[in-house]
A = this chain, B = another copy of it.
């Protein structure tokens, strides 16, 4: 029911969506919908909450691979590919666009998704980077901050392109690959273990 609701809300926006459409898309009666969710707002809130509940530590399955990766480059590339491609998946991009589009109407749901969706995914990346720090493959004293930078380098263009163009200018796989390659290279240089101390930034 909620899977079909995402498609309907994304296609029509919150205001443009009717409970008739939501019920039809889910192949249930309006009575069933009202009983389960109360009203349109109830469906929307349940959708966002259900998406947040799915997200715990999505990149935990990578940790074993990262523990056995032979080089920092192999590990960082694996994390970058998995992270960037999973966030750029059409379903996640649609959800993000929907949450942002309705953030003025439902700031509490936007904030929920921010805290339990967006930041949790980032924390999961940070845990992966901490493994590479432990192994001495990288020097990452502040994994959460490094995870933000990693995400930003990989996703600033592809993700904003989808957000601003409403998905009408799709991200080409070649372009995503180029951003991933460059992000991996820059991240390795910024976080390679080095004897001299980092430049202090006052």
Contacts and interface: CB of A to CB of B under 8 A. Distances in A.
Interface of A: 10-11, 13, 15-16, 73, 77, 96-97, 99-108, 110-111, 113-114, 118, 142, 145-146, 148-149, 151-157, 160-161, 163-169, 178-179, 181-191, 198-202
Contact of A166 (B110, B168, B188): B110
A189 B188 contact: no
B103 A97 contact: yes
Contacts of A15: 13, 15-16
A37 to B, nearest CB: 22
Q: Main secondary structure on chain A at its contact with chain B?
A: helix
Nearest to A179: B148
